[in-house]
Amino acid sequence: MHTSLVASARNAIPLHAVTANAAKAWLAKQERGALASAAGFTGAPGQLAALPDAKGGIAQWVLGLGETTDIFALAAAAEKLPAGTYALGAVPDFCGGANAALAWLLGGYVFDRYKKKPRAAVKLVTPPGVDAGEITRVAGNIFLARDLVNTPANDMGPAELEAAARALAKQHGAKISVVSGAALAKGYPLIAAVGQGSVRSPRLIEIVWGKGPLVTLVGKGVCFDSGGYDIKPSAAMLTMKKDMGGAACVLAVAGMVMGAKLKLRLRVLIPAVENSVSGNAMRPGDIFPSRKGLTVEIGNTDAEGRLILADALSDADDEQPELLIDVATLTGAARVATGMELPPFFTDDETLAADLMRHGTAQQDPLWRLPLWRGYEDTINSRIADLNNNPAYGYGGAITAALFLNRFVTKTKAWAHLDIPAWTDRPKPGRPLGGEANAARALYAMLKEHYGR
């Protein structure tokens, strides 16, 4: 159980939550509720008010929700309340129970590796019927992903990403192997090509765990993306430490799956590279073979994510898993299409698409399906190679990137590609500015439904 959750507490202070519409009526029913009204409590989002007892102490707290239906609204209380132990009182159904417990833990997250940010020691009595171990497992792995994404590239290169994967594998008794050097160049030539411009050697990280139907997760691990010779503008590079967010996300899902001991064989593949500029870096116009045997012309060195995913997906596809999902911070076009809060996904499997949408909605970890529009297939062809990584089309960039990846998945029936931001740009309760494990909870919920005990 997380240290911010307790099983019980005799003197826990009740914590209530009310919408703006219900605030006036709720206060009218409370002893000394008029004092909170007089102090200006209206139930506005994130507004907190203390209701005193007869001796001048605090009898209870109330949090304003505004008109939100955000299941994590209670995180605002964890972020703002003074030190103490609290017990959930009257709250709307949407932010009670397990949602309240998870929101409480998310509200306590802070990235303080480089700058200490003290937080009040607040604890919540675990609501009745809530599995504190499950909530702790989910939150802990979200924190893992956030920490990995938030860590700057000088401390989070391919080797450090490998170390994080090794620590997770050791924690759960999983097998881990890493391919690098000459073996990488021979077996995964596109991964090697993207990483060859950096002094930090590229690698393919593999974790294998469990028994049962094979589920494979592939996560893009570009630890920093300069754009290569097609270099990014300086403003676009400022958040490129997050370009390994796909890898962070699949590690989070893997941690949840292994911790819950789901009945499946889990395989995680992370191509980890740094896309740098040097005399050894790949150039526009270069042509490389892929693991699958298809040749790829480099039309743009900044379209590197699809290259490393291609080799990893080809490897994954050879085993024909029951389910294959890749997660990547792949295209700016995805952000233009759906923004930072609604990551798109692509699949031709109708059942898988429905599952992803349903669980994303239920977990408030939303996803939105975009089409694998075959009419754009010819845009990724090359005149002198099998494929070009820079589509000859100025629109639909997220779609053409997904079509490129799909060329490397020819045997597996159930495949989905998620194009996530791995970043929160508009802070909300429990979701601070910075790294985020978009879709991790939705994916875990889906896997738990299919492979749970």
Task: For strands 323-328 and 415-419, give the pairing.
Answer: parallel
Residue 336: closest CA among 284, 259, 401: 401
As beta bridge partners, residue 17 has 63
| Contact residues for 93 (Cβ-Cβ < 8 A; gap 6+) | none
The backbone region for 433, taken as left when phi is positive above 0, alpha when psi lies in -120 to 50, beta otherwise, is beta
Q: How far apart are CA 175 and CA 374, in angstroms?
A: 38
The rounded distance, in Å, linking the Cα atoms of 125 and 104 is 10
Residues 296 and 197 sit within 8 Å (Cβ to Cβ): no
Q: Two tokens at 128?
A: 């009745």
Q: How far apart are CA 110 and CA 99, in angstroms?
A: 19
Tokens of 331: 């295209």
411 included as an active-site residue: no
User: If we measure between CA atoms, which residue out of 26, 102, 21, 9 comes closest to residue 61?
Assistant: 26
SS3 (DSSP) at 317: helix
The amino acid that residue 269 corresponds to is L
* Number of residues assigned to the chain: 453
CA distances (Å), origin 314, targets 214, 304, 424: 15, 16, 31
DSSP 14: E
Gap between the Cα atoms of 434 and 418, Å rounded: 19
Of 306, 335, 407, 441, which is the active-site residue? 306
What sign for the dihedral angle of Cα 392, 397, 401, 403? negative
Q: Using CB atoms within 10 Å of the CB of residue 111, give its burial: 0 to 12 exposed, 13 to 18 middle, 19+ buried.
A: middle
Residue 375 near residue 351 (C-beta atoms within 8 A)? no
374 flagged as catalytic: no
Helices (H), 151-283: 158-172, 181-187, 189-195, 234-237, 245-260
Per annotation, catalytic residue among 166, 232, 358, 369: 232
- Known catalytic residues? 232, 306
